[in-house]
Structure 1
Amino acid sequence: MAGRAKRVSFPLPAFFMMGGRGLQSFLRGHMRNRPCGTGMTGKGKGMDGMTGMPSGFSPASLSSPSSAPGKRQVTLKSPIDCVGHGLHSGAPARLRLIPAAPGTGIVFRRTDLGFDIPAAFDNVTDTRLCTLLTAPDCPDAHVGTVEHLMAALAAQGIDNLLIEIDGPEVPILDGSAAPFMFLIDCAGIEEQSESRLSIKILKPVRVEVGNAFAELHPAESGFSLSLSIEFDAAAIGRQALTMTMDTDNFRHDLASARTFTMAKEIEAMRAAGLARGGSLDNAIVVDGDQVLNPEGLRMPDEFVRHKLLDVVGDLAMAGHPLIGRFVGHRTGHALNNRLLHALLSDASAWQTVSANTMDWLSAA
């Protein structure tokens, strides 16, 4: 933990519907810094003065190796920073990821308020278009849009981390988990002395609202996810995806999938105090059968992939990796959180087990 943190900063993009160059053209035109692994990963190597993501980052660059251990708890090797702005608040935010001791868990620290907020399912207090955590002892201390970062941490097997943030929302960056995966790759991961525990699902658990549902089912080992979505917009329609969760699958199948919204809903969201920092640089905007982003989609079914990314981030609030099978249809942040409440409030539905034999990360 010694030495200055590496720092990565992101520009403030234009608002929704105003176009924009997109992350890729920004990177091509403005990155003059060395790539990850070239003088950036040693202790004490600062990144002061950086004005954007290190060269070498793109959604397609996420093939760098990651060896998330499966038997022991894991933290980062060194601190790393990034600077961006919130999707909904529009507020500038500096995020610092700091290695933490075994048993700490994932903890957000509002440095401007002086409160710690554990990333726990029962600290989730708002699920309108994002997942928002609130400090148990201070209702005014909260941090929103945590799900993309939480998904990346879960996928890389990070058990213990202090996340310092000087504002109310995690930076949206490009709207996916890819930049967070890149930051973790740059910082490196370190196995710790204590064993990791997992939560094994013992019986089916289901929550539903209307025709939307989310379920957890038992499995002997590992964790798999199956999700279907259905939207009136022809550009999305009905999409479905099933995958086995491990670090490589997340990296290649989910990490670069971006958040999305409907063009017709933007003004209503802003009137509700949401999407103030949204742009075509950090979200897909859909208008009927059209995708308004000039670069189009990163993959044909990017929408269901992003929804599955959100599921991974929301389920990470359980505090330990899950062993079982997730099945969902038209689920969102609220239903994902309700699923964890239903699971963990029923002592007969789960048990903690040693990760030595049953952690999905052991295969990563």
Structure 2
Amino acid sequence: MSYLFPNYQRKDIQWVKGEKSTLTDQKGQNYLDFTSGIGVMNLGYNDSELNQVLAEQAAQLWHAPNLYESQLQEKTAEQLAKGKDYVAYFCNSGAEANEAAIKLARKATGRSKILSFTNSFHGRTYGAMSATGQTSIQEGFHPLVPDFDYLPFNDDSSLVQQIDQQTAAVLLELVQGEGGVIPADQQWVKKIEQLCHENGALLIIDEIQTGIGRTGTFYAYEQYQIEPDIFTLAKGLGNGFPVGAMLGKSALAEAFGPGSHGSTFGGNNLAMQVASKVVDRINTPNFLLDVQKKGDRLSKELHQLAEKSSLVKEVRGKGLMLGIELIDQETLIWAMDQLKIEGLITLKAGQTVLRLLPPLIITEEEITQAVEQLEKVLCKEQIND
């Protein structure tokens, strides 16, 4: 008997050790990790510098409530603002960051209508789940938080009609992660930004999975020539330590005055020290250029693989956030199992997409290894012929 709720479909494997891009299971078997703990371990496992930062802070002070000033929070917020006119609120997860964004948008505008998109994913807490455009995630939890509407992703047709003077905000991912690794079209995103400005609505970008260097720029929105009113972060921000953040334009600050929102653990000392070091490491031109180069190489080789495999329909994504759309759901399940046997750990996205999220520190040799493993499995029928 398990003493845990069965809300996770757990695989019969347990991770006991990690080193850079390699995971070790309870039997001592090593695997190349192309999941990064679902986009979390951007700097890989057992990073000595992050270990030291965490240990040094743990020896001083783990926690202080948000009733007092915090220079650690101020420092990390300034790093995340990157010289732009943003202020930060810290929490513990991506869902919490999106909950804060939803509350801020409604309070700042005095409106309640929020638009998001089909196949989006913004979290499983009530507001974030209500913003998520997937009925399977919402099933059994109605009634949802009211005044959320879902539009087709990358589709201009309904934008003009739906974004109006009653709209508080538009919330979107620039690459839909859980929905199938689907990048947003740049002109479509620019149109959303324009319509938001014209109607006094706020543009919220969910950077939970795309942020902190994952797509080759520190924030994915930097590739779209937009400037969101609000954006949210988590996952890679703490490299495994729980931390989330919502950043909003400083003009919105008065809407979140004392008593409007809060978190007991949000912005705690341990999380801030780790997050600050992660940002310091990743937000450099050389590091991000390296991510771009490795992402371009991996994408190119996956496209070449796709030409040889009858199981692959499409390869898409940005940076080191890539998806391989397979012909059906059964093939996806089979491929993930076969890849695990070969020593490569992968993720699913949507119903048919094999999602690849390697640590950003992945080496060229490990990319070669992963492509060989993918080719061995996805081109298996051709090899057998």
Please indicate the TM-score interval, normalised by the length of the shorter structure: under 0.3
Q: Which is richer in strand?
A: 1
Max radius of gyration: which structure?
Answer: 2
Larger relative helix fraction: 2
TM score, norm. by length of structure 2 = 0.24
